A and B are shown apart, each in its own frame.
Chain A
Amino acid sequence: MRRIALSIAAALALVVITATTGCRPDDTRPDTDTTAVFDTDTLVSDTLDTGVWDTDTVMTSTDTLQMHQDMLRDVFYEFDSSELTAAAMDSLMHDASYIMANRGFRVLLEGHCDERGTIEYNLALGERRAQAAYDYLVDYGVSPSRLQTVSYGKERPFAEGHTEAAWARNRRVHLRVLPGS
């Protein structure tokens, strides 16, 4: 109980930090040039997941994975953009809380594009979208070891068709649940 209260407090603190450091995901990326690194100095990692009793069996059945899959929300993007919208950040905040609160799975962040771009350039752009979602989740507190990114460009659309509605559905980062922990 105390642990849950603590993680809620930590999550709230993170929400405040994320909210105050800016709306643009670029602003919250770790600055790779700085030399001050905390992780290696401290005994306790900066990113703490909810613990498990090691007498419990870790559920990784297909049903459980499907349950996790159903709980995660995909993130949608504007045309030709990898910026996170307010709605995208809401989805990611929900996803981050869920991933941190539940164990026994990893998440593949799949960047997707709509068909109104060239194949090669879209393959590269999709990686930017996936990375924007990845950076947000990691900044929020999700352990990088549970995340992986991939770009599908426009090669595996969610919606067939050549309408604005189909394009909007295809400009996304899909959170795909993978077995693992």
Chain B
Amino acid sequence: MVRKAIRLILCAALLAAGSAAEDFLPMTPMETDRVPVRLTVEGRGETTRRTREQLEMDVSLSGLLKKAGEDEEYASAEVMVSRMAGAVSLAAEVRAGGELLLDRSYSGSSVYPLVHALTDDMVYVLTGERGIASTRIAYVCRSGRSYSLVVKSLDPREGQRVLSDSDVITTPAWGPDGTRIALTSYRSESADLYLYDLAAGRATQLLAGGGLYTSPAWSPDGSAIAFTRSRESNSDIYLLEVEGGEPRRLTARASIETAADFSPNGQQMIFTSDRLGFPQLYTMDSSGGSAVRLTGVHRYMDSPAWSPSGDRIAYTARVGGDFHIFVMDADGTNVRQVTFEGSLNENPVWSPTGRHLAFSSDRGGERAVYVLELSGLEVIRLSGAGECYLPTWSPLPPLGDERHTERTVRR
């Protein structure tokens, strides 16, 4: 009896030791739901080749469609490319089950926005869901003591350097209406909050003085920004109404509280706290109050991001000496590892549809921004040469954005 008990205790100890050294489960690819589409792109010259390549990439990155194999045809897309007087035109017909679902032409100076608009239309008529091909990602790039905010589309075009400085630019956050990016600047020998207006091309100071202000996060309705105030060795989370008013303190502990992100309904927040002596993730009501630790499977966790549908949390965790991106359910269960390469993978952000993550990684040597499609686990490098990090994803363009469209759906 005693021997049996000892054996049980030994087994339990071995199991505990085993689970401590256990690798985290990788996320599983779920390719099966994608709609196969046969892509036909006709026309002449380089523009046609670029159209074909980009369309295939957009379809692959959508996570909802896939290029059809030989014998699996459900839908077809026929695209005619023509170029005249400096403008490109795409005439597209999309069919499924013999029915014409989309008959539309797109024109503009560059072929890439047209392909993105076509892909997003295709995703919509074939699946009823929104695509992300037309969205953009902003991130910070550093070259020595020179810092830039760069806006990049999901194609080979070079990123646009919208803001540059010889002082640190960090923690950008794209606002939910798409027109503004909140960020931290060190222009004044301190860390202040700014709002960058994309249309006006102007950065305006939002909050300065009395501490360091970093890690802004927009409330889903765009009315308020949560941020971290660091002062006298302490960091806490505050909330500021964008249209004015005094910041309101949400956490009040001597430990570090930072990296807040809102739940999609705006009622909760997830954030990092080292109140136990090491950084862990906690949730609390957006009005403040008591916090609940979410999971304890990693010793060092930071940069939480709440998925747009509210069901999952992406974050960075230290594994051994390396940092990797993980995704878990919003209740802290079902932890899955999504990056395996490089030693510094950081700052995951969700695409507005929740089907992708953007993050930075040093897998290619220098830190660069990557995009991961979650159903097929396909990874593409987004940023070009140079050190780039801290991605923030634009919201979806309004439905029915017809900037590049000449004709509407004919049914």
Q: Are B272 and A120 in contact (CB under 8 A)?
A: yes
Whether A120 contacts B191 in the complex (CB less than 8 A), given A150-B186, A152-B186, comes out as no
Q: Measured between alpha carbons, how far is A124 from B303 in the docked complex, in Å?
A: 13
B190 within 8 A of A: yes
Q: How large is the interface on B (under 10, 10 to 19, 20 to 34, 35 or more residues)?
A: 35 or more
Instruction: Across the interface, name the chain B residue whose C-beta is closest to A160.
Output: B144
Q: Are B170 and A123 in contact (CB under 8 A)?
A: yes
The listed residue (A116, A125, A132, A156) touching B321 by CB distance below 8 A is A116
Q: Measured between alpha carbons, how far is A124 from B145 in the docked complex, in Å?
A: 21
- Pick the interface stretch among B60-68, B195-203, B226-234, B350-358: B226-234
Q: How large is the interface on A (under 10, 10 to 19, 20 to 34, 35 or more residues)?
A: 20 to 34
B145: chain A residues at CB < 8 Å are 156
Q: Measured between alpha carbons, how far is A123 from B259 in the docked complex, in Å?
A: 10
Interface of A is mostly: mixed
Whether A132 contacts B233 in the complex (CB less than 8 A), given A119-B171, A155-B168, comes out as yes
The listed residue (A118, A123, A132, A156) touching B214 by CB distance below 8 A is A123
Q: Measured between alpha carbons, how far is A168 from B323 in the docked complex, in Å?
A: 19
B238 within 8 A of A: no
Q: Are A120 and B303 in contact (CB under 8 A)?
A: yes
A20 to chain B, nearest CB (A): 24
**Interface hub of A150, A152, A155 (most chain B Cβ within 10 A):** A155
B254-285 vs A, CB cutoff 8 Å, 1 = contact: the mask equals 00101100000000000010100001000000
Which residues of chain B from 179 to 211 have a CB within 8 Å of any chain A CB? 186, 189-191
**Interface hub of A108, A132, A152 (most chain B Cβ within 10 A):** A152
Instruction: Across the interface, name the chain B residue whose C-beta is closest to A157.
Output: B142
Question: Besides the contacts A119-B303, A123-B191, A127-B235, what 20 more A-B pairs have beta carbons closer than 8 Å?
Answer: A115-B344, A116-B321, A116-B323, A116-B344, A118-B323, A119-B346, A119-B390, A120-B272, A120-B303, A121-B258, A123-B214, A123-B228, A123-B230, A124-B258, A127-B230, A127-B231, A131-B232, A150-B189, A155-B170, A162-B362
